[in-house]
């Protein structure tokens, strides 16, 4: 298998894996290296790991997984001699299929030797198990599918669209002006891209919230707004999720004035 690594920053590289063009990132310090995500192919996990070990030139014994979608972790099945680190929710959200060596709920530090990583769960957004790897000294953050530079954001039943802008804003807050953001799919992007993506998610959410508050039912919502910040397919998928998220908070369309009682 031909694996080509592209540089992101000093001793940080990424490669595109199959299926689904999922990015795998290698970050090396003076003493050790890690992978962020493992790709989705159990068969090519071992060659991916061997290639990363050769690239890093220091022992590579940890794989951090950005979330529970299997194009990001199944490659681990083919990797020997590594510890996996992921958010605790990956266990239930993969129905127990993925059992990481180590889980955490909020944050975990990792020292690679003169290079500290902060592994952080900023909250529920793309999934309930989103993990961001902040390599502050390298000027890199690895954000999984919180950002996609090759297309629109993707949602599943564990996504929380209302939480997404705050999560992205927190990641931006942990970055510098020149930080490279490595998404789960697509080429690395800059801070401005992350800010714009956060803005798009915020506009998507507030547009739907305004429709609900003006009494629009979910099956009429798409046509009821003049403008949307994302592609029609993405918006149509998001609308019922946002209705559900807000309904859980008691926000439902009201089509008539409250009856007055005497």
Residues that bind Zn ion (CB under 5 A): 69, 145
Q: Which is nearer to Zn ion, 11 or 69 (CB)?
A: 69
Tell me whether residue 145 or residue 245 sits nearer to Zn ion (CB atom): 145
Q: What b-and-e string marks burial along 22-61, b requiring 16 or more CB atoms within 10 Å of the CB?
A: bbbbbbbbeebbbbbbbbbbeebbebbbebbbebbeeebe
CA 199, distance to chain mean position in Å, is 16
Nearest approach, Cβ of residue 39 and Zn ion (Å): 13
60: phi then psi, degrees, rounded to nearest 5: -120, 110
- Return the beta strands (E) in 149-240 as ranges: 180-185
Nearest distance from residue 147's CB to Zn ion, in Å?
Answer: 11
Shortest Cβ 184–Zn ion spacing (Å): 6
The minimum distance between CB 260 and Zn ion, in angstroms, equals 49
Q: How far is the CB of 142 from Zn ion (least distance, A)?
A: 13
Q: How far apart are the C-alpha atoms of 234 and 242, rounded to whole Å?
A: 12
Run of H or E residues at 43: none
> Whose Cβ is closer to Zn ion: residue 145's or residue 200's?
145
- Residue with smaller CB distance to Zn ion, 90 or 235: 90
- Give dist(CA 41, CA 152) in Å, integer: 23
Cβ proximity to Zn ion: between 93 and 145 the closer is: 145
| Residues 117/139, Cβ–Cβ less than 8 Å | no
Shortest separation between residue 19's beta carbon and Zn ion, angstroms = 12
Is the CB of 32 or the CB of 126 nearer to Zn ion? Answer: 126
Nearer to Zn ion, 29 or 39 (CB): 39
Structure tokens at 250: 């008691």
CA neighbor of 37 nearest in space, from 117, 111, 133, 109: 133
Angle at 234 between CA 255 and CA 239, to 5 degrees: 15
Q: How far is the CB of 29 from Zn ion (least distance, A)?
A: 27
């Amino acid at each position: 298998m031909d694996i080509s690594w592209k540089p992101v920053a000093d001793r940080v590289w990424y490669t595109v894996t199959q299926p689904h063009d999922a990015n795998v990132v290698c970050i090396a310090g003076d003493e050790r290296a890690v992978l962020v995500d493992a790709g989705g192919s159990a068969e090519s996990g071992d060659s991916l790991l061997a290639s990363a070990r050769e690239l890093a030139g220091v022992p590579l014994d940890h794989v951090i997984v950005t979330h529970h979608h299997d194009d990001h972790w199944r490659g681990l099945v083919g990797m020997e001699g590594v510890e996996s680190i992921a958010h605790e929710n990956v266990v239930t959200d993969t129905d127990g299929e993925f059992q990481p060596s180590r889980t955490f709920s909020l944050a975990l530090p990792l020292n690679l030797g003169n290079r500290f990583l902060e592994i952080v769960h900023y909250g529920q957004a793309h999934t309930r198990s989103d993990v961001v790897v902040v390599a502050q000294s390298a000027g890199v953050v690895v954000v999984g599918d919180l950002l996609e530079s090759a297309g629109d954001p993707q949602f599943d039943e564990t996504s929380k669209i209302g939480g997404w802008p705050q999560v992205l804003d927190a990641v931006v807050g942990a970055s510098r002006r020149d930080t490279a953001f490595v998404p789960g799919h697509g080429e690395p992007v800059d801070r401005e891209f992350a800010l714009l993506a956060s803005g798009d998610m915020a506009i998507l959410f507030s547009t739907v919230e305004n429709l609900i508050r003006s009494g629009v039912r979910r099956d009429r919502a798409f046509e009821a707004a003049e403008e949307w910040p994302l592609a029609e397919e993405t918006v149509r998928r998001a609308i019922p999720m946002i209705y559900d998220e807000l309904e859980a908070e008691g926000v439902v369309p009201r089509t008539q004035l409250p009856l007055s009682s005497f």
